[in-house]
Amino acid sequence: MPLNPCQAAAARQAALAAYKRLLRSLASLKLAIAELAVIGALSAVGTIIKQGEPYAYYAENYPEEGQKVLGFLTGRLIWALQLDHIYSADYFLLLLGLLGASLAACTATNQWPAVKVARRWRFKADETSLARLQVASLLPNARVEDLGKVLASKQYQVFLKDGQLYGFKGLAGKLGPIGVHASMLLCMAGFAVGALGGWNGSAMIPEGGEMVVASALRSASPLAWSPAGAEAVLRCDDFRIDYRPDGSVKQFYSDIQVLDLDGNPVSTKTVSVNQPLRFGGVTAYQTDWSMSGLQLQVEGSAGLPEGVTFQLPMASLQGGDGKLYATFLPADDPTKLEPGSTPRGVSILARDLQTVTFYDSRGEFVGVRRLGSGKAIEVEGLTIRPQAIVASTGLELKADPGVPLVYAGFGGLCVTTVVSYLSHSQVWAAQAGSGVMVGGSTNRAKVFFEQELSEILGAVPELPAAPALVDAAGSSGSGAQ
């Protein structure tokens, strides 16, 4: 049954009242602080718990049995609470949306009305209302027009009408908080876009090897759209490590070439820590490295040609105090071994790209050789000359479409935060006989405003005082006596 006009009007009024109550609730400062606190706490949790790992990682590092992390944290709990991807978790994005709604409501109900009031210039003709302002003074023997000229020279916007004056400056200080809120909303929009539309992954590319970027990327959500760089091919032309004199690592360098799917070069860059490669919306960071093979020459082996450089694959031993890789060189022809017998050979270990260590079949240390030195070593009847280690570069790949929004938001936040600290100062005045009644107020730096207004009043030219009137009849009568 359709509503009659009275009922429809009442329904609209009720809906409007409910909307205003909702705005006031969302604009609550306490609510906004609580939202920020929860978001900050969840962000801190995300920095403690490694993000984006498979379930097996959390099950291994946060076991169900035995001593639990913090006494309660387990892999199953982390998985259930989405702590493995907290920045794209449903509740985290919901909190960002709620904080955005609070900022928008605060802007609509508090900040914008204050700006509209500040822009509405009005006069005060009543001396009593002028005297009640933060700063008030009576300027004798002065004209309100002269006061207006001095205020204008101090960057005030001045309005005069019928012996009344209104001036203001620093209106940007009123707009600053709105800009702060808008910048924060832009940042949160960038976070949300990155969380829903981002891609990330990692790749280990050996020297001379290639990989298709799309094969290493995984989307943050079903809403993510593939970046243009996903169709590119990365080739590692060279990987090297700079060492300090004490042997510690100084820097990693990877010569990376970007190719299209037809193999045509697009760009080339030497990537290092803090110097990433950017292409097609994808950023490749230098984060890791490994050893994929050991090149050497061997003499005295029945199964290997002498004087020929060949490559042995290397595997990680997961050394507890750093990287440790190893390979095994058989001393006998594996095809001639008796079933069940233990092969005789040489174990070769490496921790860096400079030297390798040799052990015999009994696990006893034999010696160390520097790669490329040409110096041979005798082990298990074999003469071995290590040539070089084929390294692999480890790249972290990220595609975050929200980064431009975040950068723009933070840039705006820096500017508008400074602008919001500008004082919005207002001055009113009215001609009161031969003098001028002046009053003013400001929202910040009240002491400075008092000093400034005092200097302004001191700069107003003083009019000459009117001459005293003499009673001519009285003076004449006195002379006759």
DSSP one-letter string for 441-466: EESS-HHHHHHHHHHHHHHSPPPPPP
Contact assessment for residue 348 and residue 310, using Cβ atoms and an 8 Å cutoff: no
* Long-range contacts (CB closer than 8 Å, 24 or more residues apart) made by 42-51: 42/86, 42/92, 42/95, 43/86, 43/87, 45/83, 45/86, 46/83, 46/86, 46/87, 49/78, 49/83, 49/84, 49/86, 51/84, 51/85, 51/86, 51/87
- CA–CA dist 249, 252 (Å, integer): 8
Contact assessment for residue 325 and residue 314, using Cβ atoms and an 8 Å cutoff: yes
CATH class of 123-170+425-459: alpha beta
State residue 374's pLDDT score: 86
Residue 329 token pair: 């060189």
State residue 468's pLDDT score: 53
> Which residues does 379 contact at the CB level (< 8 Å), separation at least 6?
346, 358, 360, 366, 367
Q: Strands, E, within 80-220: which ranges?
A: 135-139, 157-161, 164-169, 199-206, 210-212, 218-219
- CA–CA dist 230, 397 (Å, integer): 10
Whole-prediction pTM: 0.70
- Residue 381: in which H helix or E strand, if any? none
State residue 475's pLDDT score: 46
Closest of 123, 127, 143, 131 to residue 434, by C-alpha? 143
State residue 314's pLDDT score: 93
Residue 161 token pair: 């009408």
Closest of 364, 353, 408 to residue 386, by C-alpha? 353
Q: What are phi and psi of 51, to 5 degrees?
A: -100, 150
State residue 350's pLDDT score: 93
- CA–CA dist 212, 441 (Å, integer): 65
State residue 164's pLDDT score: 92
State residue 479's pLDDT score: 42
Q: What are the beta bridge partners of residue 379?
A: 382
State residue 95's pLDDT score: 93
State residue 66's pLDDT score: 77
Mean pLDDT split into 10-residue runs, the chain, 481 residues: 69 78 86 93 92 87 82 88 89 92 89 72 83 90 94 93 91 87 92 89 92 91 88 94 85 94 93 94 93 89 70 81 85 72 86 92 92 89 91 94 94 93 91 91 90 92 67 45 36
DSSP SS3 for 42: helix
Contact assessment for residue 359 and residue 349, using Cβ atoms and an 8 Å cutoff: yes
Using CA atoms in the order 377, 379, 381, 383, what is the torsion angle rounded to 10 degrees? -30
What is the dihedral sign for C-alpha 88, 90, 92, 98? positive
Q: What are the beta bridge partners of residue 256?
A: 236, 269
- Residue 427: in which H helix or E strand, if any? strand 425-432
State residue 283's pLDDT score: 95
Contact assessment for residue 464 and residue 154, using Cβ atoms and an 8 Å cutoff: no
